[in-house]
Structure 1
Amino acid sequence: MSRRAALTLLALLGGCTSAGVRDGVRTIEHDALQRAATTNGANASLLVARRTEAGVVIVDLGWRGAERALEDALTRLGARPRDVVAVLLTHSHRDHVGAWRAVAHAPFYVGAGERARLLGRASHRGWIPRLADHLRRPSLPDARLDVRELAGDTALVFGRDTVRAFALPGHTVGSLAWLVGDVLLVGDGASHAPTSGRLTPARRGFSDDARAARRSLVRLRAAVAPYHVRALCTAHARCATADSITWRRLTRGD
């Protein structure tokens, strides 16, 4: 398969309508402490900036045009890249780590087993990411980065503010979901239907183990039950109300 054909396939499999992306960004920005931006590529990739008492934390880092998108989100919070105190990755696929150089001074938090993949020392198992990496080498962080693996569900404290990580393995070995404010950012542990925009389980071709990803969503629902979750959002800015219908679609594939 040629590089052009592969990129076309990525676009068809992961296409986001601009209206759906805008709706997702508005959902995330319901909280004045939180700003979101999307980047370019075969699919719109999300990054979220959250102000805490200790500084700004960033969830995911987008893809093409990521540094400009990062600057936009930070500016709307009244912040700069130097104010970022932590980077929280849902997973390490190339389309979610684009702006890493701009915030390389901060620690990067990933799930167990994800560090080697973030640094390019191990490969993902999904055939589409593997093909993309074969056709064009990704621009991944180098070994000087401070990467910290979380072995399971973890609460990170930033002053008087708490951000919660939940293990979500399956899409990648160390995928995480992050609860920032009242929005649960599930990365690519969930996807969306191209026509309706409804959230769906993780896609097989992109995932290490789509069945494990669905099992992780079942566990995630129970793990977040004690907390107020207003919305679930994917790493491509598709969001849904965190109600029983959304969870049923995610865990049963309805």
Structure 2
Amino acid sequence: MDKVVATAREAVADIGDGASVAVGGFGLSGVPNVLIEALHERGVRGLHVVSNNCGAMDSGLAVLLAAGQIARVTGSYIGTNKEFARRYLAGEVEFELIPQGTLAERLRAGGCGIPAFYTPAGVGTQVADGGLPWRYDGRGGVAVASPPKETREFDGVECVLERAITTDFALVRAAKGDRHGNLVFAKAARNFNPLAAMAGRIAIAEVEQLVEPGRIDPDQVHLPGIFVQRVVALTPEQAADKKIERRTVRGA
């Protein structure tokens, strides 16, 4: 099945207001910027985003955040995104903060059809006990707090029950992909992109290099095409447009 879609705008055309979207990337690595920009241009609102972080500088999910298109974020890192912090503390965005490894496993579990799992991560903290501010009221108070989670002991180790994550859509970026949706990710871009794609009911991948089926060694496939519904081939200019979060140079 040829899953290639002509444009990014066409690929995200059915993502509507209030949709949940898992988004790949880690910092500025492997972020599906072209698909995010297409979603921004459509002007959809009230998005529920699941991602490691919410963009950095003026790229990635920071574009949607600044435009007020995101209503809720599930993630593990605010980082240096001052606009994200401002909107969160002002009560403009709801934010579920969870451990990074737990986020990865919740996405993977969703893609594998596992409804929930136990983990020791977060036991003895507000992650398990509840009370983490999900939404502030804009006056310094907490409007919505996280509920307590079920805990259970296994072999003397207390663990907390975490539910899997599934979303309506997923946006990811791959270094290489074929027309059947088989994907290869480069280095750090492999961290969350495969997991985000697995969790989305409709996964859309922008690929830097599109090849014909059979041109990718099966042993090199990081994500099988069964998890991917749409593929968008980037132009050479789009593929080469990669930002550096903190540029440093060595002295002479």
Structure with the larger helix share: 1
Higher relative contact order (CA 8 A, sep 6+): 2
Structure having the higher Rg:
2
TM-score by length of 1: 0.35
TM-score by length of 2: 0.35
